[in-house]
Structure 1
Amino acid sequence: MIVGDERSQVLDRPERDRVCTPDILPKLQSLLANLANIDTDHESNLIVIESRPMDDACKRRLIADLCESHRQRRAPYLREIEALREQMEAAFH
């Protein structure tokens, strides 16, 4: 397929289907920054737990709880990122 054909296919689409809303990038950056903060907090807490002298079973339990909390904190941000990905995909297909 030649380039001109690709452009004509894009131009045939209604404008609302071709335009990616301008607020997607700032939203994505914000979501990724929040995930990075959550991950940094998790790593810091993990280091604290691992460095403390305590019973191994207690340490494993605390680490498991920490990992579950980490997963739960990340989940809403990951859902929002997936929604943005779908929105971007719809805008360009």
Structure 2
Amino acid sequence: MAAHVGHRTPETGRHRYPVYPDDIRPRLQSVLATLADMEFALERSIESIRANGADEVQKREVINLLRKRHQERRAPYLRELSDLQKRVEAIFS
């Protein structure tokens, strides 16, 4: 099912309803959900490490490593999100 996004046109003040292609909305939702899940998992891991009784220097090192890996894992999803955004902009321009 296509997604409708309402916009008011400046000329008439009425709504016009552009339609996303059927493949964009589900993929966009999936990518955003994956990114949100990854963020949540990172924050939980960091909280767990901070609550740990380990040395503060070790904690910082582990947290920095987690953040680096997190950025690496996020990169392909961010690229896909950027590609989807470009497709949406091309449709509505």
Q: TM-score, structure 2 length as denominator? A: 0.77
Q: Bigger relative contact order, structure 1 or 2, given CA contacts below 8 A and separation 6+?
A: 1
Say if 2:70 is the partner of 1:87.
no
Higher Cα radius of gyration: 1
Percent identical pairs in the alignment equals: 40
Please identify runs of 4+ aligned residues in structure 1 that moved more than 3 A.
Answer: none
Question: TM-score scaled to structure 1, two decimals?
Answer: 0.77
Q: Work out the CA distance in 2 between the residues paired with 1:29 and 1:87.
A: 15
How far the C-alpha of 1:91 sits from its partner, in A, is: 1.0
Question: Which residue does the alignment assign to 2:32?
Answer: 32
Distance 1:64 1:76 in 2: 20
1:51 matched to 2:51:
yes
Q: Deviations over 1:8-58 (max 9, x none)?
A: xxxxxxxxxx86421101000000110111111101110111011111111
Q: Give the length in aligned residue pairs.
A: 80
Q: How far is 1:2 from its partner?
A: 3.0
Equivalent in the alignment of 1:76: 76
Query: In 2, Cα distance between the equivalents of 1:41 and 1:24?
Result: 26
Pick the structure with more strand per residue: 2
**Unaligned 5+ runs, structure 2:** 1-9
